[in-house]
Amino acid sequence: MKNIILLTSFVLFLAVSNFYSQQQPFNLKKLNNVSVEIQDSEHLLSNTTSEKLLAEIKLHLLSADIKVVSLEDSKAQMVVKINYIRSTFAEQRVLVQLDIYEKVNTKRSGNIETEAITYNNFSLFKTKKVEQGIYDVTMDKLLIKFINDYINQNGS
């Protein structure tokens, strides 16, 4: 009986410790010197809305103590990708992705430098007001979650 209790306790301990030791799917610690880009290949946003969105994103990053720089001076790049998903079977939807790209080194059979997506979040939604929907989802959902994740990992 003692062995069963001991074995059950040990298995429970392993399960709980494994749960809490799971690595997060992203790492935003010490992220800084970020450039920002909006990729809207289908021109769903007007130039005015695109510029407004870009300016608002930069202001929010600065308010979270994330330094925003030009692409040439950046160590990381925030890319907001906007796509229109067409369908003949369902309603058309808009896909907005917020990604962080960084140069990383891997240690496989030597050091290999590559570019990797180190943070990814997206929203797929339908809307009649496409420009407003993209703006609202980017600012109120994706960017707020990114900043909350950044603050949680950096303690700001």
pLDDT of residue 103: 86
Number of separate domains in the chain? 1
Which residues fall within 8 angstroms of residue 120, CB to CB, at 6 or more apart? 26, 97, 98, 99, 100
**What one-character-per-residue DSSP string does 57-98 give?**
HHHHHHHTTPPB--TTT-SEEEEEEEEEE--SSS--EEEEEE
Domain limits for position 47? 2-154
pLDDT of residue 21: 45
pLDDT tier at 77, thresholds 50, 70, 90 = very high
CATH number at residue 105: 3.30.160
* CA distance linking residue 119 with residue 115, whole number of Å: 12
- 12-29 pLDDT, tens digit each: 555 554 444 455 677 889
